[in-house]
Chain A
Amino acid sequence: MQLFSQKLENSKLRLPPGVKDFLFEETQQRRELESRIMRALMSKGYREIITPTFEYSDVFSQANESRNALEDKTYRFLDRDGNLLALRADFTAQIARIAASRFTPNDLPLRLCYSGKVFRAEPLHAGRSREKWQIGFELLGAGDVDADVEAVNNILDGLAVLGLREVRVALAHIGFFNGLVAHAGLNGEALQHLKYLVERKSVAGLHETLQRLTLPRELHETLLQLPNLHGDAEVLARARRFAWNETSRHALAHLEAVWAQLRGHTDSGRVFVDLSEVEGMGYYTGIMLRAFVAGAGAEVGSGGRYDDLISRFGANLPAVGFSFDVDLLAHALSQNSF
């Protein structure tokens, strides 16, 4: 490889870790996939908005009332008057603020979409970016099964217009796990650790940790089974015997209802259930969605339902949203063909 400049010792050429320049083909590819996904969303009645790149830090902290991983990754700085500002770490928090302040009940249900960057101080690991380009949608003011089905369809359509064939959307529901541990009397730290082990599907780690915690036998056994609760509708049926309280039962019934309405997709394996997916944004209250495509080693997008978030900004609105990761989609597309 021949480089124009050999002055590699020149520190002015360096970029901070986690950010990138994109030249012609790579820019073009990203713009093309952006326009395809945005057009697909707009054709379904989603309207694009632009949110500020930075705003008062409170907006993001408000959204993450309970201490959340995102909180530690937010870039904060002071303005000239000494106010604490933050770079946009998350679109959803901003959209919650906007929904609560700029719209009235007559506007509901509200369908919004966006394309832009979020900034997160990710650990420098596995090529992770600190500036992530997201394309997303939010469906506000609709809390029923139909709304979650619409979200899944939006995701699959977004992947389809890119020409991606080998795709899978994983459905989970935070209520299933929350219901299981609701009355176990676990402190925040123990709960966090259990969540981490379940999410990692570490049966060995769970064995070891559960030996130290004295949990009811039923819960102990269920937590050990969780890493295996993934697959199709059969998993939802199998999970019923673990759902001994109302919250867990309701979560399963909801997933079953969503599954039933996605028949065309479930038959072809484009939808998948994984009840061991328990980590996500701190504000998720219901279904959680992750998208996978061949050629990308991690999820190319994630989202979920957040029925309590907008009320923190003063309006009580159920909502579901999702965002695609443009760079990971571009990577997957270059592995296949665009």
Chain B
Amino acid sequence: MSQPHALIIALSKGKLLAPSLEWLAQKGHTFLEKDLAGRKLALTSQEGALRAILVKADDAPIYVEYGVADLGIAGNDVLLESEAEVFEPLDLGFGQCRVVVAGKPEHQKEDLRRRARVRVGTKYPKIARRHFDRLGVQAEIIALKGSVELSVLAGLADVVVDIVETGATLRENGLLVYEEIVSSSARLIVNKASHKLKSAAIDALLHHTNAQMLGK
């Protein structure tokens, strides 16, 4: 049974889910495996103090920004792309990856600023736009949903902006990392109103890890 004032946390489905649940378990909030295996979208922790809603990774910041969830766990890459106005008091350390610019090896040395137009294939149009604007590159951002490496190989784009973990996918496709835009890891995010109205409960969840991190 959930307690009347249970905090609601939006958890990203996919690869962040397992380490997220592990982190929550360390904080004393456990979720049953049989609940997770089912098709339920909202789960209550065994202890009753936390309710979790499972959402698509891209959507977690939105649920938190609107305040439907008090808290959430989302990758920094997703946060930067969403531009959601939330607090992000804690770096959870897992889910590490880098957002990079990559392309064919033969163009690596070329100064993209000299070009009248650079086509960029990406699933991160806002991150890409900000990056190339900052550099003064006249980029034409092509927002894609699927495998972006293909956009370079097929001649749609000159470069891609994408996340890499090991770099294996890029290598397999014969692409090279030109530069890193930002490194990413999972962040605990907090709704702005919940931060004030439920500060005691949220701080209780946060406090321990923060102290560890600062002591490092």
Inter-chain CA distance A228–B203, complex, in Å, is 9
**Interface residue tally of chain A, by bracket?**
20 to 34
Q: Which of A125, A224, A292 contacts B193 (CB 8 A)?
A: A292
Q: Which of A227, A228, A297 contacts B191 (CB 8 A)?
A: A297
- Determine whether B213 belongs to the interface, using a CB cutoff of 8 Å to chain A: yes
- Determine whether A95 belongs to the interface, using a CB cutoff of 8 Å to chain B: no
B91 touches A203 (CB 8 A): yes
- Determine whether B23 belongs to the interface, using a CB cutoff of 8 Å to chain A: no
Inter-chain CA distance A218–B91, complex, in Å, is 23
Inter-chain CA distance A200–B89, complex, in Å, is 8
Residue of A nearest to B88 (CB): A202
A126 touches B199 (CB 8 A): no
Q: How far, in Å, is B184 (CB) from chain A's closest CB?
A: 10
A166 touches B197 (CB 8 A): yes
Residue of A nearest to B82 (CB): A125
Inter-chain CA distance A296–B68, complex, in Å, is 9
B196 touches A170 (CB 8 A): yes
B65 touches A126 (CB 8 A): yes
Q: Which of A126, A168, A202, A224 contacts B196 (CB 8 A)?
A: A168
Beyond A200-B88, A298-B192, is A125–B83 a contact (Cβ under 8 Å)?
yes
Inter-chain CA distance A298–B194, complex, in Å, is 9
A200 touches B87 (CB 8 A): yes
Beyond A274-B196, A298-B193, A299-B192, is A204–B91 a contact (Cβ under 8 Å)?
yes
Q: How far, in Å, is B70 (CB) from chain A's closest CB?
A: 9
User: How many interface contacts (CB-CB < 8 Å) are there between A and B?
Assistant: 74
| A282: chain B residues within 8 A (beta carbon) | none
A126 touches B67 (CB 8 A): no
Inter-chain CA distance A301–B104, complex, in Å, is 51
Residue of A nearest to B190 (CB): A201
B66 touches A228 (CB 8 A): no
Q: How far, in Å, is A205 (CB) from chain B's closest CB?
A: 8
Inter-chain CA distance A227–B66, complex, in Å, is 21
Q: Which of B68, B197, B214 contacts A292 (CB 8 A)?
A: B197
A126 touches B193 (CB 8 A): no
B197 touches A201 (CB 8 A): no
- Determine whether A230 belongs to the interface, using a CB cutoff of 8 Å to chain B: yes
Residue of B nearest to A300 (CB): B193
- Determine whether B85 belongs to the interface, using a CB cutoff of 8 Å to chain A: yes
- Determine whether B173 belongs to the interface, using a CB cutoff of 8 Å to chain A: no
B89 touches A297 (CB 8 A): no
- Determine whether A231 belongs to the interface, using a CB cutoff of 8 Å to chain B: yes
Q: Which of B62, B65, B90, B197 contacts A203 (CB 8 A)?
A: B90
Q: How far, in Å, is B154 (CB) from chain A's closest CB?
A: 32
| A207: chain B residues within 8 A (beta carbon) | 91
Inter-chain CA distance A126–B191, complex, in Å, is 13
- Determine whether B84 belongs to the interface, using a CB cutoff of 8 Å to chain A: yes
| A272: chain B residues within 8 A (beta carbon) | 196, 199
| B203: chain A residues within 8 A (beta carbon) | 231
Question: Among residues 160 to 201 in chain B, which have CB atoms less than 8 Å away from a CB atom of chain A?
Answer: 185, 187, 190-197, 199
- Determine whether B210 belongs to the interface, using a CB cutoff of 8 Å to chain A: yes
- Determine whether A149 belongs to the interface, using a CB cutoff of 8 Å to chain B: no
| A294: chain B residues within 8 A (beta carbon) | 193, 197
Q: How far, in Å, is A222 (CB) from chain B's closest CB?
A: 12
* Interface-central residue, B88, B192, B203, by most chain A CB under 10 Å: B192
Inter-chain CA distance A297–B68, complex, in Å, is 8
| A203: chain B residues within 8 A (beta carbon) | 89-91, 210, 213-214
| A231: chain B residues within 8 A (beta carbon) | 199, 203
- Some 16 contacts from A to B, beta carbons below 8 A apart, are A123-B83, A126-B65, A126-B66, A127-B66, A168-B196, A168-B197, A170-B196, A201-B88, A202-B89, A203-B90, A203-B213, A296-B67, A296-B193, A297-B191, A297-B193, A298-B193
